[in-house]
Structure 1
Amino acid sequence: MSTWKIVLRDSASCVRAYRRPGNETKETSCTVKGITWVSSPSQPLAALQIDPVTIMHDGSYTCEIATPGGNFHCHYDLRVLVPPEVRLVGTEPGTAVCQALSGKPAAQISWTPEGNCDPAQVTRGNGTVSVRSKCRWKDSNVSTVICSVSHVTGNRNLSLELHPGLRVAESLELTLSALLFVKFFLFLILLVIVGFVYFQRTNDYRYKLNFS
């Protein structure tokens, strides 16, 4: 006889029993779907199969097997991991928000370079955790920031330009400065040409007076 005692983290405890002679099964308070018996001629005692594994199956599983040769125990601690959804946005000049949404366990957020940050963490009803970090940088020389999200399912790095509008403004300012310089240079050339023409005409007029 095989008996599984299942203690799920977000549901009531469940007991599943299977007796080989007659293929008898018994269940008590088992409401989570996806857990089925596996039995075959090559497997004299029933085992459990979880398909597909979801966050609802997170918990401890203890198997007790009673045979004519004695009783045996085995225990499994099933830990379901959920990768978070990562987002990075700029909300206002010099400010960025990095989020690691609905992860399990909670993710860790760090910044490069470090800023003045306000972290926040919210635990959802399904056991996942959303982490949020809002940071501000007073130094105007900080143009690009990197949000690093650390999680047991994998790490991610996202980058963001803090002042894209300022860069456009600087580019426009440089363009206007270049145009003003070109206009001033052309104005100088025009003055030189006008002065040269005036000088030539004055010399021609003096030459005619002297000749007459």
Structure 2
Amino acid sequence: MIGPLLILCIWGYTLSADVTVVGRRGNFTVLQCGEDPGGEIVGVIWKIHHMNNSRCLFSYGAHMRGGPQIYNNCSTRMTFTNRTLTIHNTQISDGGNFTCELSSTGGTFFYTTILQVLAQPSVSLDINSDGSPECRAIGGFPAAEISWIPSSDDINTTEMEALDDTWTVISTYKSDRDMVVTCLVSHPTFVNVWSQSIVSPVETKWELIWSLVGFAIFLFIALCIVYWNQKKIRTCSKKSLNTSPPQQVDGIAEETQEFEPYATYTQRENVVYWGTLKVTRLN
């Protein structure tokens, strides 16, 4: 290893230690190709090895036929100015190793920059459809870390990677006791640990049950009142129907009583007539 280093020094090559740059998804990121060499820059070559194992090349030649020329088979979101490589609208896939070869009148220099792109997750804590506290960290890179207070052996945590290289972490807390639980989310983009508390599902279920029982009692009482009122209305209607016709019946009864003496007299007269007739025939 000592031999190659001596040869590089004799030929005018200078190596530098790795530098780490942290960028944010959606922002612009600036990478410097080492320090000012103190002479005229002849050319710069960026050799980029992305985190997804893709490779590309970005080069700048100052003294070329027709003037300075730039070659770029990387993303069009990358621009070059002097010794600076700028990545616009930085994405997670832009992360990786950026090796810069700088040639100047003072020599040739090599610099390596490690780019790490972070994405802040969206965090929430709710009761899921099963009635359990569920803590979510969506769209983060790297994946967020979720923990609970109090700790439990019955915690289910899953991690899912999206097409844009971000991660979604879902952690579900299950408990059979009445308690308050707190979700803690850690991520490099957070200055402090995110935390939020929620009531355990046991208490929530009992509140729901008592609410349903109270509603059922109220509905039963309301139906009983409606039924009792309807029964009372029917009874009153029947009484009114039975008491109104008797006036007409009394009138008919009076006419019947007035007509009965005449009918009785006629019947008696006929009896006398038939009796007289029978006596005449015997004689």
Q: TM-score, normalised by structure 2?
A: 0.52
Greater helix content: 2
Equivalences for 1:64-143 in 2 at 5 Å? 64-91=101-128, 95-115=132-152, 116-139=154-177, 141-142=178-179
1:156-212 per-position Cα deviation (integer Å, ceiling 9, x unaligned): 112212224535749x99xxxxxxxxxxxxxxxxxxxxxxxxxxxxxxxxxxxxxxx
1:130-174 per-position Cα deviation (integer Å, ceiling 9, x unaligned): 1111121112x31x211111111112112212224535749x99x
TM-superposed deviation, 1:33: 3.3
Distance 1:126 1:25, change over 3 A: same
TM-superposed deviation, 1:93: 7.1
Where 1:137 maps in the other structure, the secondary structure is: coil
Amino acid at match of 1:90: I
Give me the whole-angstrom Cα distance separating, in 1, the residues matched to 2:147 and 2:50. 32
TM-superposed deviation, 1:34: 1.6
Give me the whole-angstrom Cα distance separating, in 1, the residues matched to 2:49 and 2:174. 44
Give me the whole-angstrom Cα distance separating, in 2, the residues matched to 1:93 and 1:119. 15
Amino acid at match of 1:147: C
Amino acid at match of 1:38: T
Q: TM-score, normalised by structure 1?
A: 0.68
Give me the whole-angstrom Cα distance separating, in 2, the residues matched to 1:97 and 1:11. 35
1:78-111 per-position Cα deviation (integer Å, ceiling 9, x unaligned): 1011111112121267621111112111111111
The answer to whether the 8 Å contact 1:94/1:137 transfers is no
Match of 1:48 among 85, 88, 95: 85
Distance 1:160 1:33, change over 3 A: farther
TM-superposed deviation, 1:5: 0.6
Amino acid at match of 2:71: K
- Larger mean CA deviation between 115-124 and 69-78 belongs to 115-124
- The unaligned stretches of length 5 or more in structure 2 are 1-42, 215-283
Provide the alpha-carbon RMSD of the alignment: 2.4
Greater strand content: 1
Amino acid at match of 1:35: M
Aligned length, in residue pairs: 163
Partner of 1:153: 189
The answer to whether the 8 Å contact 1:99/1:132 transfers is yes
- The unaligned stretches of length 5 or more in structure 1 are 40-45, 174-212
- Percent identical residues: 28
